[in-house]
Amino acid sequence: MPTHLAPGVFVEEVDSGSRPIEGVGTAVAAFVGIADKGPCNRPTLISNWKQFGSLFGGFGADSYLAHAVYGYFLNGGGNCYVVRIGNEGQLEPAKAQLNATGDDQRPVAKYEVQALEAGVGAAGLSVEIANEAPPESDQESIKIVVKQGGAVVEEFGDLTTGKSKNVVTAVNRRSKLIKLIEVANVTATGLLTGEFELRSDPLPAAQPLVSADYVGDSASRTGFGGLETVNDVTMVCVPDVMYAFEKGWLDAEGVRAVQHSMIAHCELMGNRVAILDPPPEMSPQGILDWRMNVAGYDSKFAALYWPWVKVSDPVKDANVFVPPSGHMAGIWGRNDDTRGVHKAPANEVVRGAISLASELTSKEQELLNPEGINCIRSFPGRGVRVWGARTISSDPGWRYLNVRRFFNYLEESILNGTQWVVFEPNDDALWARMRRTISAFLVNEWRKGALFGLTPDEGFYVKCDRETNPPEGIDAGEVVCEIGVAPVKPAEFVVFRLSQFSGGAAVADLT
């Protein structure tokens, strides 16, 4: 408190002791895979599909990363991080040379036309050069027509190679598809007419990827190991491990090594969950055998979804099967936005899913569901839906995915919201402030329906007093606060018990 030495009126700001805890984000995915271009081994924040296409090339790459990210945004996902691995080269923009007629009437390679976007966005681009009318001066009047797939998409007329109505200035200012670059500083009276297709040199063949490329290293910030520096990630997906499996770059043991490392990463960070993809073309019995006898995963920080989903591929102009992890991550995000992280992300429509790689019956799911295999099923008149919400943990306390993710949310929110406690005087006043702060936060969660009970006292308790903080603990500089919560569990099995009864008896009972 300040010392006042002279008479007067003083205004002082004092701490009210109320420091509200703000809930952290729960739906930020991270994707690791192969792309046409973009920064390598660096987590890059992506907010929408168009941004992904601009930075990483969209659907151009022969991999599952683009489909996973597209499915994520399509199903309601928000921000995500993308880690590109593999070939460090960039897909060069499609281009073509435009020849001009010089003073001696010989062709000169004066301009180069380039596509503004690499990859699928530049597919089928061509440029047609024509003379609009007989020249009235020493400069020909040029018309440029941009076509994509044979259809005219842009036109620029009444242009010249001189300073007036310069072709480079006009095209680069107005075109959304191409740009012109002057590669030779020669005097020209016009451009040679004709239609020129824009072509790009292909990337070198992708080198086979090994497990270490996906796993990476936290020290060198590679693979998903580099995600240790990104604290707001809550979901980790590596769909291209299945691409490597199909290509023969990884065998079944290599796939397990990558997925075991994903699980270890999530357990180490403690604030994120791995979404695992199953191998392709597996029957219900096959995925059960793989889950129980081959993979043998057991973790409360991972979830497994099966089967693969069929989606549209604009590059191949066909429908293809893709791993489900990207679509599932989007559903997690949509569920968190509309209902809350405490709600199990199940019984939700999988947007963009045309069909499934395997149809299964309720009897078959009775074998898979208890083992933590979250099935995706097709229902007549209800579309393709997620029909499971379990982790792959053998611990019944952490059986449900929403419980694990809700605890991640609580732990991270309380951790961030109580940093002010450090170095405060460790006494009864501090303990009371901590109880008030944490209780206020948990009351809000109870009101949202995240905690069980008709009253807040049934949903949680907060204990921070002399019992949890004995003198020896205070002398050690510790303050201990016990928090107990009763999270809601999903109504996974809905049972209606119907029986016959006598109408007369029922009336008698009611009276």
Residue 157: pLDDT over 90: no
Specify whether the CB–CB gap between 430 and 465 falls below 8 A: no
Q: What is the mean pLDDT of residues 369-394?
A: 95
Specify whether the CB–CB gap between 288 and 368 falls below 8 A: yes
Rounded alpha-carbon distances, angstroms, from residue 137 to 103, 133, 159, 189: 14, 11, 13, 10
Specify whether the CB–CB gap between 214 and 223 falls below 8 A: yes
Measured between alpha carbons, how far is 125 from 148 in angstroms, rounded to an integer? 4
Residue 260: pLDDT over 90: yes
Q: Residue 45 has what pLDDT? A: 94
Return the residue matching tokens 């790459």: 61
- CATH fold of 29-88+210-401 reads Rossmann fold (3.40.50)
Q: Residue 511 has what pLDDT? A: 44
pLDDT band of residue 508 (cuts 50, 70, 90) is very low
Residue 203: pLDDT over 70: no
- Crossing angle of the two packed helices 65-74 and 325-338, in degrees rounded to 10: 20
Specify whether the CB–CB gap between 307 and 376 falls below 8 A: yes
Structure confidence by residue, pLDDT tens digits, 423-467? 999 999 999 999 999 999 999 999 999 999 999 999 999 999 999
Q: Residue 110 has what pLDDT? A: 75
**235-237/273-276 β-pairing:** parallel
Q: Residue 504 has what pLDDT? A: 58
Structure confidence by residue, pLDDT tens digits, 31-67? 999 988 888 888 999 999 999 988 888 887 788 999 9
Rounded alpha-carbon distances, angstroms, from residue 63 to 34, 250, 307: 6, 14, 18
DSSP per-residue string spanning 177-245: SEEEEE-----EEEE--EEEE-B-PPPPPPPPP-HHHHH-BTTTTBGGGGGGG-TT--EEE-THHHHHH
Measured between alpha carbons, how far is 176 from 327 in angstroms, rounded to an integer? 31
Domains in the chain: boundaries? 29-88+210-401, 95-197, 419-511
Q: Residue 97 has what pLDDT? A: 81
pLDDT band of residue 187 (cuts 50, 70, 90) is confident
pLDDT band of residue 510 (cuts 50, 70, 90) is very low
Structure confidence by residue, pLDDT tens digits, 268-283? 999 999 999 999 999 9
> H-type helices in 34-151, by residue range?
49-56, 65-74
Structure confidence by residue, pLDDT tens digits, 300-336? 999 999 999 999 988 888 899 999 999 999 999 999 9
Q: Residue 87 has what pLDDT? A: 62
Measured between alpha carbons, how far is 272 from 266 in angstroms, rounded to an integer? 5
CATH class of 95-197: mainly beta
